[in-house]
Amino acid sequence: MAWRWSLTLSFGAFLLGTPGWAQDAPQVITVTLSSYAFTPSAIALKAGVPVRLHLVNGSGKSHSFDLRLTPARAGTYPLKCTHFMHSGLGMTGTITVQ
Ligand SMILES: [Cu+2]
């Protein structure tokens, strides 16, 4: 199956904060994307604490990337794949910021 990145992270104000790349050695959380899941599907972060999300394509091609960020506010943010029917097949998750 041709795999194309189209990850939607509903961050909104989530990404507002100090750019993660301005920080030294943030926590690294590896998230593997496969057919049809995020592993882990529940990601726990802390407001004000920089993190590097290492997103790995587990479906074949080696299109992986890092997302460096500092969550600004506590909350629960949905995570879903926007490919046709993928979220319906279970490719969803949550990011919880405490
Ligand atoms: Cu998907």
Q: pLDDT tens digit string along 14-66? A: 544 455 455 568 999 999 999 999 999 999 999 999 999 999 999 876 778 89
66 CA distance to ligand 1 middle (Å)? 18
Which domain CATH number covers 25? Answer: 2.60.40.420
Q: Give dist(CA 66, CA 27) in Å, integer.
A: 12
Range(s) of the domain holding residue 79: 7-97
90 CA distance to ligand 1 middle (Å)? 9
Whether 2 maps to a domain, the answer reads no
Domain count, the chain: 1
Q: What is the per-residue pLDDT for 12? A: 43
Backbone CA torsion sign across 42, 5, 80, 25: positive
Q: What is the per-residue pLDDT for 22? A: 52
22 CA distance to ligand 1 middle (Å)? 30
Q: What is the per-residue pLDDT for 21? A: 52
* Residues less than 5 Å from ion ligand 1, measured at CB: 81, 83, 86, 91
